[in-house]
Structure 1
Amino acid sequence: MGLAGWFDRIQMTGVGNTIRVAVRLCFLAVFALAIGFTVNAWRDLKDVQDRIRYRIPENTIWAATQSEIELSRMLSELAPLAYGAKSVDGRKLALQFDLMWSRAMIYNKGTLAEAIRQDREQSKIYAAYFAALEASDDILDEVVAGKADAAARMLAILSPHRDKLRSLTLESLNTDRIERETLSADNDLLQTQLSRFGAASIVLLILLLVYLIHSERRARHLLEDANQSRSSLLREREHSEAQAERMKLLARKATTASGAKSEFLAMMSHDIRTPLNAIIGLSELLLKQKEQGEESRMLGTILRASEGLLTLINDILDLTRLEAGKLPLKLGAFSLATLAQDVAEVAAVLAKENGNQMQVIIDPSLPETMVGDSDRIRQVLLNLVGNANKFTTNGDVDLSMEAAGPVGETCTVRFAVSDNGSGISAKMQEKLFQPFEKGENAQNVRAGSTGLGLAISERLVQLMGGSIRFESAQGNGSVFSFDLVLENAGVSQPVAADHCVAISSSVDFSGKEVLIADDVPANLMVARKMFETFGARISVAESGQGAISLGRAKRFDLVVLDVQMPGTDGVAAMQALRSEGPCRDAVFIALTAQSFARDRKRLLNAGFDHYLGKPVRLAEIAELLAEISNTRLVSGLVDDSSETPALELDVEEISPANPEGDAQADAGSYLDIDFLSELIEDLDHDTLIALINQVHNEMDTSLPVLKQGVIAGQDEDVRKTAHKIAGLLDQFGMSAAAQSARNIEHSPAPASNGQEVELLMTLSRIGLNALRDHVDSKMGMKENTESADSENSRGGRWVA
């Protein structure tokens, strides 16, 4: 029976598993011992052979004795000279010294050197000998020259080493012979042991191979099972990958759908706002002309219905922005009392219709002014107060503002709206803040609610760091409240001016020429009537090309252009009028139903000075005209002899003569931070830096051209170059430098404005450095010092 059969027989017995394990362990133990003994014998044999290899060979020891002989000859040559011999052969002495030195070098080579290094006593002797040789070498020239004192010194240095070398050589010869005999015997014994252990290991290895062959048969069956499992796993993996591809496809579809939704909302907003512009605008104009009566009430109903539709559009857009996380907060100082008054005045109409009494309660311990986004707080409160009035009839609606904690640099303000109306059922409370959910009673239907107000309010409060709470029971009214942490503005920040109609009476555009272009006749009529309200002389065009024709034939103080006109649109018309003709210095206003923030920035960057969103309100036009009158130099609006305010910056602080002021200025003084935030969100860091570098290169080219145009007195070239620079800087939010470029462009004599050109150069350099630092800091990345130094040195060329 073979060994493999024996293993099979063992496995077939009742205790096969136990015996198999025991046999394996015993076999492994024996095999390990055999291997261990073999390895140990091999290591001992290697050690013996190494010791034999590093012993001093006989011929090497003989060669070492030559060093002693040559030392003795050198001493013999030195002795006569040292004791007063008159003549000496210097060449012979030098030759003998070289021979002695060469014989000594054998101690630093080969096996003799290795043997010496392993013997500490010998190492000390030979080290001392070599030190004596080096010391003798220092006086060899004097000895060769026949100086007896030098010969005596060398003799004294070398003489002590002759006997030591001789005794060591003799001792090494005797010791080496004995050790060789011992090592040879050990070598023979170890070779015998190694052969035996090696043979045993080979036998055990053969046994191991037999066992492995037997085990391989069993492993083959296991492998087949494993292959089947692997095939199953591969099928599952392919299924998972197919699922992942489907998920990616769904994600792409979702992204496409989101883009389509945004495009639809933009188009819907535009298409609805355009007719609303005519409805609201004409209603306002007719209300101003009608006295109180039935027609006036009907017009008021039309206006409120239109405003309700506009609120619906704004709600949908706000919800979209909130869901996308792109609705920014605009913080500023505001009065709590004014805020409460605004809310109460707006809600008063609906409260009166439903027979409700409204009361506003403000905690006297609250500061007069706070810092926050008053527009968004007002939006939330208007929604809550509006809902309270909708669901309450002949009841009470209270708006309260109270301190919910200590008043200091910051204060937690609790805003609450309570009513004693119909209340909210338990079922409705579960889905109260879901979009498009409405109340259950008929009163709500009559109010025309869209079900978006509370959903938007909840998200707005969360955006401002709070959360809406409510308490309600059907038939017992409701209380909605939310807490916001607001800063105490104190007296350090001015309160934003109240938005009131009184501003319209203070704006006088009498005698000013205004050009209005819109392809929709109703919108054109509304805009014309509204601007005529302020005394302006109006010219109209129904196309962009018509506006260009009128603008090139006559000078206008103000040009209002609808953005989306067939053929030549508002942007193209504005750029054409700015490039040449009498309207180059006019104030250009974009009129559009596109309501997204990015649309406003795009139009301002394209070259428009201001922006009006449809539907246009008289109060908005009045506020815009007041701003234009106060901040822009339009012929006749301010004294022509006064200087145009270049920028809201201290020119002395950042003039070319004082560039050190750059580092002290805040980035917000030079950059449009809100615009850059969106730009940073849309582009990656490397792309932004590459674009900034490209802007840098463009400025390197354009600024010298601008400077040369000023030197040559070429007004038109300077104007065109300044317009190009302004557009380029606006594209990257460098607002201060862009404003400086526009001041040059709109100047009556651009080539004479050398100081403004130098200011532009300085602001461009500062703005680019601030832009690069802002991008790096916002993205958590910094460019290397060499790159920054290089860019700064380039920027230095702009300073005249």
Structure 2
Amino acid sequence: MDALREDKVQRCELDYVSHDGRQRTGLFLEAPTHAPDGSANGTIGVLLDITEYRQIELSARATEQSLRDITQRIPVVVFAVRRGHDRQQRLAFMAGNLHALFGLSPSDLLEQDDVLRDWPFHDRIHPEDAPALRRLLQRATRHRGTATLDFRAYGAEGLRWIHLVMGTRRLPDHKVEWIGYVIDTTSINAHNQTLLAARDAAERASKAKADFLATMSHEIRTPMNGVIGMLELLGHTSLDQEQRELVHAVEDSAGVLLQVLNDVLDFSKLEAGNVRLDDAPFDLRTLIDNVAGMMAGSAHKKSLQIDVGADATLAGKLLGDSVRIRQILLNLLNNAVKFTEHGSVSVGLRVIGDDGHVQRVRISVTDTGIGIAADKQANLFTPFSQAESWTTRRYGGTGLGLAICRHLVQLMGGSIDLSSRLGEGTKVTLELRLGIAQREIERAPELAGRHAIVRLASIGTANALTAHLTTLGLTVEQIPPAQPMRRGAAANLLFIDAGDQESAAMIAAQAILIDTHANGSSGARDHDERIWLHANPLKWQAVARVCAQALQPLAQPSRHANASAAATPAAMSQAHGRILVAEDHPISQSLIRRQLDLLGWSCDVVGDGRAAFDALRQHDYAMLLTDCQMPLMNGYELATAWRQHEAQSSKRARLPVIAMTANVLDGEVERCRDAGMDDYLSKPMQLRQLEEKLRTWTPRAVSTHAPETKAGFFEDVFAEPGMEDLRAEMLQAMLRTSEPDLQKLEQAIAQDDSALAQRTLHRMLGALQLFTNGAVMAEGRELMAALGGADADRALRQLPGYLENLRSVLDDLERQTHRADNSLSPLE
């Protein structure tokens, strides 16, 4: 009726029951209809089902009311502001306790309708924070995204800290809307200020402690360096055995104290933030070589095996602080050796990531030592902490090592982890990301494309060696000793175990024998022209050097293989005052080299007369010291050949040639002079005797650095200061080389070969006389002389009995070595 009377559409909401019996809400519209003359003549009605829309509206209202209830109970205000086409900012929504935060009511922010009035709000902002808030609001009008700001405002209860979060979005009708919230953070800010004050106080205390430690460490280190230096000088003076033992004990204690001071100083620097890393190119393979070499002596004293391996894909040079990385590895290796009594210590390196610019490397240090209980491992990286209290008493240390390592690794952006089982050993893993400074490996060009066969019983050594060889550019084939050599196998180099004589005869390749004993040497050729590679530890540099040496005859056919033992031309050019030593036994080589070094002379050592002759023709020397019995060309032949060369080349200066011989009978002396030698030295050579010969035959070039020695001859070749460790090393080396010589003597007896017997016996006695001068030496010299004369057959028949006496002496020396090793144990 209203639609007809008012002639317009009428509407109302009504509830009804639909045909399925459900309660519904509808919007009923009634519109008038008209006759042709324009008069209303009826109505038409439409019922729209708005049940779902009404439920959504009710839910939205309930949510809005809940939001308002929540914001009234906590110090937060939620808002939405829109800007339309008229550029007016309108308050679309607001909920919360605006009065508590700003001392305002919503009506204070509105002008007419819903147009926003913002000056009352800005009037409440602290003057120091107002510019920052204006800049944020201006930025929000131009950019999308979320912005945050902490500022101070005056609320109902005074000055408050407010945290603002506001986001901007574009609406479909090109309008802009800002939605966000402000929350009271006064209590949180007060708590943060308390924490900051506590942090500042702690930092000041820590810095004061670090400064104190640094100052004290420096003050103590200065006199400690003087103490250690004076002890070193005292050790080179004339001391009896008891005094020398006391000096060594003091040196050890001083060294431990200095290490403690260094740890404290490093830790104080790290805590104070005074450690800066220097990135520079370095060779990580060589660095690991050097660290393993530094720890080899300590490990070998405890009969520990040191294994080293590096990934073949490691870049030639990386960018990093090599000094700090060396410090970390030294600390980890030192711990591994210190806490390991039996077994081995190993260093492994793997490349676990490479993006072309940076390599991610993983370095692990593993030992078979005492291990660490699981409940003790968490505190190991804590300063001044060790797993057990008794470890400090038994092994020493400050408990700072791992803490320093962790600090340094964190500075490098890396990680360090430890895993261990009690009684089974420990593994420390270090991961670093290092830039690639140079991808290429520095290697000898003649190694590229060569083929090597690795035939070793130890899988670990074989894998490590294979990686090194691959890095050097060789192709490598691993054939275990238990597996037969394949038919038609060919190679340039063959790496075999020391006792594997069969494999060396199967293939025409340069055999390189792997030496796993302590204090071994790499590159030395024995009397059978075999090359040795020391694998305890297996160093990258040693592998590269030995491979180049082994392939040198292939690259330079005109030169004898042993000539590589001579120094390089760059080191020997115009070497006036340099001495050439021709000696085939490695024990005697080490001794004469050390003796000349103590007397202030430099020398080059070759293994036979032919190599010595080649070296003499290429370089100038002040003197030639030559053994008389050597392979290929003996000392007599060498002296004669050189005198002929001097005559033919019209050399003005005559080279002094001194024989080194164990046979000083009149006939031997005459034979030396007839060959062109000027003088002789009896073996074993004493330091004083050697010095006198040098002064006699090179008066103008005599060294002024020779140590002071007592008058008269020494009873012991190794009696001079600094020779004790050399004696132990050479004794072990002599014992290792004696067994092959004994086997060769037995072969000479079986074959009635007196010449072979004489050469081998001369070789053995030349080394043995350094350690004993008993009846076995006198008997051996008589047999050696008889083997070269008319009574050779009788001497061969006497050799079996003499070999038993010789073995007995060698066994006694070996027992002495074991007793000496036990006496040096750090646990006693």
> Higher helix fraction: Structure 1 or Structure 2?
1
- The higher relative CO (CA closer than 8 Å, separation ≥ 6) is in 1
TM-score of the alignment, normalized to the shorter chain, above 0.5:
no
**TM-score computed with the length of structure 2 as normaliser:** 0.29
TM-score calculated relative to the size of structure 1: 0.30
Instruction: Give 1 or 2 for the bigger CA radius of gyration.
Output: 1
